[in-house]
Chain A
Amino acid sequence: MLAVRNLSKSFGSLKAVDNISFQVHAGEIYGLLGPNGAGKTTTISCVCGLLKPDAGGSELEGIDLAEDPLAFKRRIGVVPQEIAIYGDLSAQENVSFWGQLAGLHGRDLRRRVEDVLEIVGLQDRMKDRSSKLSGGMKRRLNLAIGMVHNPRLLLLDEPTVGIDVEARINILKVIRDVVKSGTAVLYTTHYLEEAQDLCDRIGIMDKSCILAEGSLDELRRMVGEGQILTLRGAFSADEFRGVIVEDGGVRIVTLEDGYAMLDVRVERGEVSAVLGRILGQGISVDDISIQEPSLQGVFLKLTGRELSE
């Protein structure tokens, strides 16, 4: 459905997006996961036609953005990271305005406005001024605006930033429901759990590039099935290095005085053996945590650092 090819965009000397390519299929949620400043928002801005890329381009259902921007934009819905609504208009008037810009009018517009406000659970507050809504409600309204014209592709740029857990769950549920109707979703986030739970495929972005992409399983396989073993205690880095020998089963990810992070291969049942070796050598450990193979681990292995929440 959406094909992004060799997309690059710079702001002066700063390379924001560097030659990235990916595809999003119908009925699929594709997540762009990465820390702040990785280039996710710039990518979305280029895909929705807000920014003109320096190189590469986007194609949706065979329509090239550069060649026919209006036809391309008619098929997309954008939910920006900021809550881009008019506080002095009601929820209904807000949705209606963007519906009209998308080409809806008359009875069709009224019906879609009501439907989409019901989907996001704002039907009871549709007449209220948007400025009077809570933060979570504004986020839902922000989402409703992007969906009012039933787009083929929904571009969501960190739509759950700064809201409480309940509101986040609501929004994620709405997105899952939208996808069931065949809509494709391009979803950017820096929340690992969100990407892990929601996305069918994930592209891991860092420093303007996509480092790896695929389903969660594919990503895990790509970087190995290791568990992350984290140890905290009253030990020195040198003392620890004397105990652990890096081989095919164990790899030191981070090591400093009082803190060690190890990548331990699961299939070889090494975790208990490694732990036994450490404790047997008299290393003083106060806290042990074992992390199952996850996106955090994948990100860690790809970038050498944790993706902070």
Chain B
Amino acid sequence: MREPTVWIVIRKDLLRRLRSPLASIVYLLFPFVFSGLMALAFGSGGGGGIPRVQVAIVDQDAGIISRFVLSVFSQEQVSRFFETTQTSAEEAMELVEKNKVAGAIIIPKGFSEAVLDRRETHLKVIKNPAQSIGPMAIEEMAEMIAQILDGGAKVLAEPLERIMGLARGTDSTAPRMIQGGFPTDEAVAEIAALVNRTLRSIRHFAFPPVICLERTQILAASQDAADQAESAAKSAAAGSSGDGGEPDEEEGTSRLVLIFSYVLPGMATFALFMLALGFMADIPRERNIGTLARQLTSPVHASGIIAGKILSTVIMGLLVAAAMAVIGALLLKVRADLGAFALLCLAFLGAATGFLTLVFGFARSEQQGSTLASIVIMVMAMVGGSWIPLNSLPSFCRMLAPATLNYWAITGFQEIMISGAGIVEIAQPLAILFTVGIVGTLVGSWIVQRRLMQGA
């Protein structure tokens, strides 16, 4: 019994693809390499994260307030962003000139006394002109410290005056309150009571704060799974070694995974579109070398040949998507609905090949078709959120995005990967992509057949 033409053509094209697998491998690996680079660049995983700002601190004061300033930089929240080097003024200048630090903060001599006396003083910031963001961060940080000190000095004026009076011996009670160079218990209690009274007077403003910053991190299905897996691994490790693990590393890995999950769908969509372009360009390529015309002299329907060409592209795309899914699952530990994922891949590849059939139907040559299709794919990738997340794009791009195939595919993939959506939840992207695929394929195939029979 005669085999269906579609199957004969599919088998032939798949065999050809397997003989020259380089293009498929490149399309397969591209999204992972690119997404991985993005995740490493912008996540804090991989032992890297955002590089810390190098700052030199010159403490010429060596007083109680300058030690407070130094202690600010050793706080965990601050030390994640700043790396300090305590040095002299000359060395600090040298470090700036050699571009070793983004800037320097100089705490001048008499700084502590001036702050405690509530006299005007200066916290000097030297910025490295060779850098852009680091010096700005140092300036912001120094300004924040100055404001805290200024506010503190004003609010705690009374206790500070008492302390300074006792320390300098100008206070009439100093001989009684200071014995052997140290404050007596009575002096400490009195100052503590003063501080307490001051703080009580401002409690409505300070406790609790008027504005609270609420930080929420959306946990992706993939990240959730990754976290669970990592927690389990760490628990196991803790159980055996008594070590509780390192929270920073865990957080970094989760962030890496999260960025990967956001970037990967866009890159994968772009790669699958380019793969479809490479394979569908076979229509004009075969028209040029005469194999397409020769097939049409065989006792088969032209529609079978074109359908075979389209389906072989879709199958090849599905194979690459499946390989992407396996690699993605291993890397991200995605807990996704496989049925929804497969259906969305099919819908997107159908839409992409349908669209490309239409383009190559109208194109007069392979070069013309490929150029036109490449431009449209690039624009769709840009506007549709393949390269840059949609929420980072200008508003007019976000407005145009729904007109692209990438947008619907990315929306669907992110729903599946991040929110754990199933087929029902991604019904809209599926319906739109399948519609584009069917219409594009039918119209495109008709045009291709018509042009072939006209000898074009």
**Chain A residues near B (Cβ < 8 Å):** 11, 45, 48-52, 69-71, 73-74, 76, 78, 80, 82-86, 88-89, 93, 97-98, 100-103, 105, 129, 145
CB-defined contacts of B15 to chain A, threshold 8 Å: 89, 93
Known A-B contacts A51-B455, A101-B5; the reply to A84 vs B294 at CB < 8 A is yes
In contact, B299 and A74 (Cβ under 8 angstroms): yes
Q: Does B20 contact A (CB under 8 A)?
A: yes
CB-defined contacts of A88 to chain B, threshold 8 Å: 16, 19-20
Q: Does B123 contact A (CB under 8 A)?
A: no
8 further A-B pairs in the complex, CB-CB below 8 A; given A71-B299, A74-B299, A98-B298: A70-B300, A82-B289, A85-B291, A93-B15, A97-B8, A101-B295, A102-B299, A105-B1
Q: Does B188 contact A (CB under 8 A)?
A: no
Closest 9 CB pairs of A and B: A84-B290, A101-B298, A82-B290, A73-B299, A74-B299, A78-B297, A84-B294, A48-B297, A88-B19
A101 to chain B: closest CB distance in Å?
4
CB-defined contacts of B293 to chain A, threshold 8 Å: 50, 80, 84
A-B contact pairs, 5 of them (CB 8 A): A78-B294, A82-B289, A89-B16, A101-B8, A101-B298
List which B1-20 residues lie within 8 A (CB) of chain A: 1-3, 5, 8, 12, 15-16, 19-20
- Interface size in chain B (residues, C-beta < 8 A): 25
B291 to chain A: closest CB distance in Å?
5
Known A-B contacts A51-B453, A102-B299; the reply to A89 vs B20 at CB < 8 A is no
CB-defined contacts of B12 to chain A, threshold 8 Å: 86, 89, 93, 97
CB-defined contacts of A100 to chain B, threshold 8 Å: 3, 8
Contact with A along B438-456 (1 / 0, CB 8 A): 0000000000000001110
Assembled-state Cα–Cα distance A50/B291 (Å): 12
Assembled-state Cα–Cα distance A101/B3 (Å): 8
CB-defined contacts of B294 to chain A, threshold 8 Å: 78, 80, 84, 98, 145
Known A-B contacts A105-B2, A105-B3; the reply to A70 vs B299 at CB < 8 A is yes
In contact, B19 and A49 (Cβ under 8 angstroms): no
CB-defined contacts of B5 to chain A, threshold 8 Å: 101
Q: Does B296 contact A (CB under 8 A)?
A: yes
Contact with A along B236-257 (1 / 0, CB 8 A): 0000000000000000000000
List which B275-316 residues lie within 8 A (CB) of chain A: 289-291, 293-301
Assembled-state Cα–Cα distance A212/B163 (Å): 126
A165 to chain B: closest CB distance in Å?
25
A263 to chain B: closest CB distance in Å?
39
Select A84's contact among B20, B291, B299, beta carbons within 8 Å: B291
A150 to chain B: closest CB distance in Å?
13
B256 to chain A: closest CB distance in Å?
40
List which B110-151 residues lie within 8 A (CB) of chain A: none
In contact, B8 and A50 (Cβ under 8 angstroms): no
CB-defined contacts of A145 to chain B, threshold 8 Å: 294
In contact, B297 and A52 (Cβ under 8 angstroms): no
List which B326-352 residues lie within 8 A (CB) of chain A: none
CB-defined contacts of A51 to chain B, threshold 8 Å: 453-455
